[in-house]
Amino acid sequence: MTDQPQPPEGDVPVKPTSASRTTLSHIMTSHDTNLLGTVHGGVIMKLVDDAAGAVAGRHSGGPAVTASMDEMVFLEPVRVGDLVHVRAQVNWTGRSSMEVGVRVMAERWNESTPAQQVGSAYLVFAAVDEEGKPRRVPEVVPETERDKRRYQEAQIRRTHRLARRRAIKELRERRAAEGIDD
């Protein structure tokens, strides 16, 4: 595992982290609430997926689909009247996949207090062509020390995702070989 992006292969384009970074903002209303009177986690997750999808599409220069979401963390409840800012950026790229990091911030719509972090998530997107087949994505080039740290952490998460997938596949194959059908 490397700590920094490797030089691009052949004619693979590169894009800096800032090229596709974006913020999606939305005021939470009573239509967004759950039974406890706070904003439903699913509403926040949709905003996270929307912002991450926009970033993935911008970075890859075309359609990109959500492949997985992990480490969705809710730190504080979001309330009606909160102005929610969903900040997203590409942290890491592979051949056709990208990890997008998302930070969710909230502030009262009518106060001048600073926004506070209320959630975060990491999503993996796959760039696809018109037929839904994987297509090559530009390599992301971290620009700041924070971007470099995020790149390195994304590599660790990728290693863990792949190891988990392999371990589950092996377990299922062993159980099937033993005649255990579940």
pLDDT higher for 178 or 11?
Answer: 178
Q: Is 177 left (phi over 0), alpha (psi -120 to 50) or beta?
A: alpha
Question: Which pLDDT value is given to residue 3?
Answer: 53
In total, the chain counts a number of residues equal to 182
Question: Which pLDDT value is given to residue 133?
Answer: 96
Distances (CA, A) of 134 to 8, 37, 94: 18, 41, 11
pLDDT tens-digit map of 44-62: 999 999 999 999 999 999 9
Question: Which pLDDT value is given to residue 9?
Answer: 53
The residue type at 56: A
pLDDT tens-digit map of 115-166: 999 999 999 999 999 999 999 999 999 999 999 999 999 999 999 999 999 9
Question: Which pLDDT value is given to residue 1?
Answer: 44
Question: Which pLDDT value is given to residue 181?
Answer: 79
Distances (CA, A) of 153 to 13, 25, 128, 160: 23, 26, 25, 11
pLDDT tens-digit map of 3-34: 555 444 557 799 999 999 999 999 999 999 99
Question: Which pLDDT value is given to residue 10?
Answer: 59
Question: Which pLDDT value is given to residue 152?
Answer: 97
pLDDT tens-digit map of 65-75: 999 998 899 99
Question: Which pLDDT value is given to residue 53?
Answer: 98
